[in-house]
A and B are shown apart, each in its own frame.
Chain A
Amino acid sequence: MIDAIRNLGRIILEGLERFGRAGLFMFEVMRGTPQLRKRGALVLQQVYGVGVLTLLIILVSGLFVGMVLGLQGYNTLVKFGSEDTLGLLVALSLVRELGPVVTALLFAGRAGSALTAEIGLMKATEQLAGMEMMAVNPLTRVIAPRFYAGVIAMPLLAALFSAIGILGGHLVGVGLLSVDAGAFWSQMQAKVDFYDDIMNGVIKSIVFGVVCTGIAVFEGYDAVPTSEGVARATNRTVVYSSLAVLGLDFILTALMLGEV
């Protein structure tokens, strides 16, 4: 009995310790930010890694999500005789919700896991320790560029996802199901608000960028330096990022709608 309670306490304490380490880690990364200006090339390199290489999966998924939204939305809206609002439905679902969230989930799977594995392996092969020996701070040299690259890439990826999704919805709605093209766009333009809808989506995607990339680089940096430890860290990155994104999405939506 006492053992069980002690185990519970140990789990809680370990969790808190991890949280504390993550907080200190993020603080250190932030503190190294000013030195990053001299190292723009490093950030650029990482934007290529986490942004450009994630582009394909984002574009393909965005197109198909938009097309499915067009099909599903049409089938429901046509029952109410309001298939003209299909464009509005597709645009609002994508811009406000699916764009940022699905992009973040895909990002965690594609770029986040790669970041964790890369940094974890650097640690396992003692490259990070080697840098410290040469008086190079791995936090500013390795971690910070990757972190900021993720934060920069995420909103751009989410915007591309939403834009191509709307084109996909247009493809299915107007091309396949013969919704009027004028009604499709005019309903969308009349009801989608730049600040309330689009900017909120952008804010969401920036927050998700910080959270996903933060978790990915921390898990890599904090990994047990063995092959098994790196595998476990990669696994944790995907699980924690996905959970954090979905949970934060609810909180952010509630805050932005201001109706809770």
Chain B
Amino acid sequence: MRRNVMELWVGLFAAAGLAALSMLAFKVGNLTTADVVNGYRVSAQFDNIGGLKVKAPVTLAGVRIGRVSSIAIDKGHYRAVVEMQLDGRYDNLPKDSSASILTSGLLGDQYIGLEPGGSEKNLESGDVIMTTASALVLEKLIGQVIFNNNQSGGDGNAKK
């Protein structure tokens, strides 16, 4: 009897521990959507990827369909090569789709947004997305604004 009670408690303990672990995995860690199922790889070249990181989401119309799997440098052209793993369910993206690096919110993380093109052919594993838009670098923008201001200010002075 005593033995049975003890076994019951140990069983409850182990079950509760495993339940807690699976709660962490599925409810907190969101294991279910973390992996891209039978995905395919496409890559894209950017002039500047800003703060993009490996594992950043790849979205289509705001819906996440994959993640960035690797970031490297193309030594010949001094450009960034970003490889993405896309979900196999969305295999009908046109070949001339474009990729741009966007920012979620003002200070949020950067992600890749895909825009479908109009081609009849679809993107396949190993393809390269040709049309890309680089990340917006805040310092460059500010620099441009200041430069433009100075120029217009200089013109005004010259006219006087």
Contact = CB atoms under 8 A, between A and B. Distances in A.
A48 B9 contact: yes
Interface residues of A, number: 29
Interface residues of B, number: 23
Contacts, number: 75
A194 interface: yes
Interface in B44-75: 55
A259 to B, nearest CB: 14
B20, B21, B24, B34 pick with most chain A CB within 10 angstroms: B24
A197 to B, nearest CB: 7
A99 B51 CA distance: 31
Closest 6 CB pairs of A and B: A156-B17, A163-B20, A189-B30, A194-B29, A159-B20, A159-B21
Interface string A203-227: 0000000000000000000000000
B25 A48 contact: no
A165 B19 CA distance: 14
B23 interface: yes
A194 B13 contact: no
Interface string B1-25: 0000011011011101111110111
B31 interface: yes
Contacts of A11: none
A224 to B, nearest CB: 32
Contact of A44 (B6, B18, B19): B6
Contacts of B25: 194, 198
A190 B30 contact: yes
A192 B17 contact: no
B28 A198 contact: yes
A58 to B, nearest CB: 10
Interface in A136-176: 153, 155-157, 159-160, 162-164, 166
Contact of B30 (A159, A164, A166, A192): A192
15 contacts: A44-B6, A47-B14, A52-B12, A155-B21, A159-B20, A159-B21, A159-B24, A163-B19, A163-B24, A166-B28, A189-B29, A189-B30, A194-B29, A194-B30, A202-B21
Nearest to B11: A44
A116 to B, nearest CB: 22
A48 B10 contact: yes
Contact of A160 (B20, B29, B31): B20
A159 B28 contact: no
Contacts of A248: none
A51 B13 contact: yes
B18 A52 contact: no
Nearest to B31: A194
B10 A198 contact: no
A116 B28 CA distance: 36
A193 B29 contact: yes
A156 B24 contact: no
A84 to B, nearest CB: 11
Nearest to B3: A41
